[in-house]
A and B are shown apart, each in its own frame.
Chain A
Amino acid sequence: MEINEKLIERVTKLVIEEINAKGGVQVLAQGVKAAGSRMAEKTSYAGFPVARQGTDPKEVVIGVGPAFQRQINKTINGLSLEDVIKNIKAGVEEEGMVPRVVKVLKTSDVCFMGLEAARLSGSGIGIGLQSKGTAVIHQKDLYPLSNLELFPQAPLMTLETYRAIGKNAARYVKGEKVTPIEGQNDPMVRANYQVKAALMHIKETEQVDSDIPYIEWN
């Protein structure tokens, strides 16, 4: 893994130097530097072990987005992705279930990511988590765009909510009568965050790899 990253860093540096030499770097209004038609270089996960099909009936698989903890390290409202994943896992464990993290590479759509996670999960329950923080609890036999619980407004998420998501996912595994986490709504979320959300999602989508569907991610 280390060799790969060093290689990527070298390649990235060379590409950026080349672009700078051509004077092609645009500085955008929100301080985002964009090199032409890409926001970040693509990480190759060639050679990484493909995520395995789980068999443990206590398992909750968390499927994170393609840019997770590489190109993007914080959610849209600044929560560190390391803390986010730690809290989801802790929530699952508190209910006596077993979390496993995979990185979904074939899609950056949160519902499809959640469904892939659920299908890989030994219990059939999974969580989809985009790098910007949008999350879903999914079940393997549901329609892709349906879900058990959806958290569409990433700017409103807190570490406590992520922990509660882990707990609720685990409770679905146990077949309990689950009370969904109370919804949150900020009617100004679009005005304040949609452009940032678009940029983060573009960054995530650039890392989609149709050849490698998902890998183990620890």
Chain B
Amino acid sequence: MKRSKRIEALDRRPVNKDGYINEWPEMGFVAMSSPYDPKPSIRIHNGVIVELDGKKREEFDFIDEFIADYAIRIERAEQSMAISSLDIARRIVDINVSRKEILEIVSGITPAKMVEVINYLNVVEMMMGMQKIRARRTPANQAHITNLKDDPVQIAADAAEGALRGFREEETTVGIARYAPFNAIALLIGSQAGRKGVLTQCAVEEATELELGIRGFTTYAETMSVYGTEKVFIDGDDTPYSKAFLNAAYSSRGLKTRFTSGSGSEVLMGSAEKKSMLYLETRCLYVTKGAGSQGIQNGSVSCIGVAASVPAGIREVLGENLVAALLGLECASSNDQSFTNSDMRRTARTMLQFLPGTDFIFSGYAGEPNYDNLFAGSNFDAEDFDDYNVLQRDMQVDGGLKPVKEEDVIRVRYTAGKAVQAVFRYLGLSEVTDEQVEAVTYAHGSKDTISRDVATDLAAVEDMMKRGITGVDIVKALAESGFEELAESILSMLKQRVVGDYMQTSAILDEEFKVMSGVNCPNDYMGPGTGYRVDGRRWEEIKAIPHIIDPDNF
């Protein structure tokens, strides 16, 4: 066939490099609704749910049982199930029906009913729902802080810059698992050097992550993964009960916790049981609620390539964010993983959470160039900071970030690097040279930094863990090396662990370490003239982008 030059040009477009697949429910490649999804039903006998979504109690798998026993308000169930799904969907969008009323109704419906409700909503209605149902009055944002070399000095500098730019949570992970403790302490120090009160975590294997938390190297944890089918849970050596236990372990030590789930994981693991992604994810969210977690990171997350490959996949992603909010969970709404070669497509996907606002719009905006992002690339990265700031300004939307001045960026990066150098020296760890601090201060990514001796670092990590170093030792090291203010900030973060207020739903800290959560700053949106509006000081901050034309020059 003689080829059309138009079609050839289109074939070369980035969007055509993405992976797409037709719906294939037998393998779980179906977003919103599968012919094999169950129909909603509930039967209660003597205060116990004996039938859930068409299944009798004796046929329950452990997810059904956990949901029936812990995630549905039994005294509410019959009344809520009697309301039609269409009616519930309409109330979600209705500005005259409050968040509180909706949460009350939804607390008594089953997962299959929830899926029916969501299927009635188009994406604009879902956004209207999210604007009203999100837990905290103001949206916030979270960053990924990683690099290809696992260089702790760069982590500290990027954390400081990220904090300065407005991220209220920062998350790191590792290329080499044994580096985790260094990454965690570098993130803790760097974040406070940028702006006070930023929460930090280090996403690694669960037992290691728990130990880092107990030692005071981190202040939150969000990698407690849950899955929508029993098989996938078992493959990970887990059950809903073990996750609930782990959640309690973190909480007992005063760490903020959040579960993680997302559509497509069961497909990717080969055990979707023919169900739709939305149904399986809804089960995950009920398990999360039942386990007592205050919140969830969801929105397909690392399996977004699967969700985005099927029709209505991106609609489903917003749908599952909304389910989380409807269950009263804090929602850190993904946007944290690259999934497309197309700039247009990736921006459109993020608008669904950016415009209504979620508790954390990104659960990992890459605070470094994507080549350094060890979560295999985020949907937005450090090179998109100015685009993002302009989007906030264009639409008068609070996306959680703000424009910054170059001299401030350099200053906080340098302070963070010097602080890590001082702590490493004081604790007798591997050396951080002045040249390294200098390189990291002015760097964009790890291509601009001086490589460290990895084997020596790993030996120092092992030694540090054996010596039982904790967050208090870091405070002491900073205080005795001339970083009193930073020492004070990290001590304040450690105090949060004792106070525990930041374990309430959707909590962040302000720069005075005061908690802002769904409890003391609840979302009060009920249509025009209500709820959070971008104005005052915050609007001035957003407006102040660089590269403004000065009329006096003409």
Chain A contact residues, CB within 8 Å of chain B: 26, 28-30, 34, 36-37, 39, 107-109, 112, 143-150, 152-153, 177-180, 182-183, 185-198, 201-202, 204-206
Contacts and interface: CB of A to CB of B under 8 A. Distances in A.
A108 B304 CA distance: 21
Contacts of A201: 268-270
B11 to A, nearest CB: 15
A147 B175 CA distance: 11
Given A146-B205, A180-B176, A190-B339, A195 B374 contact: no
Interface residues of B, number: 54
A145 to B, nearest CB: 4
A70 to B, nearest CB: 16
B312 interface: no
Contact of A187 (B22, B204, B206, B370): B370
B110 interface: no
Given A26-B24, A195-B309, A145 B205 contact: yes
Interface of B: 17-22, 24, 26-27, 148-150, 175-178, 204-208, 235-237, 264, 267-271, 274, 302-306, 309, 337-341, 370-374, 376-378, 381, 454-455, 459
- Which 3 pairs, one residue from A and one from B, show the smallest C-beta to C-beta distance? A187-B377, A194-B305, A205-B270
A27 to B, nearest CB: 9
Contacts of A191: 17-19, 305, 338-341
Contacts of A179: 454-455
Contact of B21 (A29, A39, A108, A185): A29
Nearest to A207: B270
B228 to A, nearest CB: 15
Contacts of A28: 21-22, 24
Given A29-B21, A37-B26, A198-B268, A187 B376 contact: yes
A29 B22 contact: yes
Given A29-B22, A188-B377, A192-B19, A149 B176 contact: yes
B373 A185 contact: yes
B530 to A, nearest CB: 39
Contacts of B381: 187
B208 A195 contact: no
A192 B17 contact: yes
Contacts of B149: 183
A136 B19 CA distance: 26
Contacts of A26: 22, 24
B330 to A, nearest CB: 25
Given A28-B22, A36-B26, A37-B27, A143 B270 contact: no
A205 B19 contact: no
A145 B302 CA distance: 17
Given A108-B270, A191-B341, A205-B269, A185 B24 contact: no
Contacts of A193: 19, 305
Nearest to A189: B376
B232 to A, nearest CB: 10
Given A29-B21, A143-B205, A194 B306 contact: yes
A177 B459 contact: yes
A33 to B, nearest CB: 12
Given A109-B235, A185-B371, A196-B19, 19 more contacts: A26-B22, A37-B26, A143-B208, A148-B178, A153-B376, A180-B454, A183-B374, A185-B373, A186-B376, A188-B341, A190-B376, A191-B18, A191-B305, A197-B268, A198-B264, A198-B305, A198-B306, A201-B268, A206-B270
Contacts of A153: 376
B172 to A, nearest CB: 14
Contact of B148 (A37, A149, A183): A183
Given A183-B374, A187-B371, A145 B206 contact: yes
Nearest to A36: B26
22 contacts: A26-B22, A37-B274, A109-B236, A112-B237, A143-B206, A145-B206, A145-B236, A146-B207, A149-B176, A177-B455, A183-B176, A187-B370, A188-B377, A190-B302, A190-B338, A190-B377, A191-B339, A193-B305, A195-B309, A198-B268, A201-B268, A202-B267
A196 B17 CA distance: 13
Nearest to B307: A194
Nearest to A198: B268
B19 A195 contact: yes
Nearest to B271: A205
Given A109-B235, A146-B208, A152 B20 contact: no
Contacts of B17: 191-192
Contacts of A205: 269-271
Contacts of B208: 143, 146
Contacts of B271: 205
Given A194-B305, A196-B19, A187 B148 contact: no
A177 B27 CA distance: 45
B306 A195 contact: yes
A29 B377 CA distance: 26
Contacts of A189: 376-377
A190 B21 CA distance: 14
A177 B150 CA distance: 18
B341 A192 contact: yes
B19 A187 contact: no
A14 to B, nearest CB: 21
Contacts of A147: 177
A192 B377 CA distance: 12
Contacts of A192: 17-19, 341
A182 to B, nearest CB: 8
Nearest to B270: A205
Given A109-B235, A152-B376, A195 B340 contact: no
Contacts of A30: 19-21
A188 B338 contact: yes
Contacts of B374: 183, 185
Nearest to A205: B270
Nearest to A39: B27
A201 B269 CA distance: 7
B338 A187 contact: yes
Contacts of B24: 26, 28, 34
A206 to B, nearest CB: 7
A121 to B, nearest CB: 19
Contacts of B304: 190, 194
Nearest to B180: A146
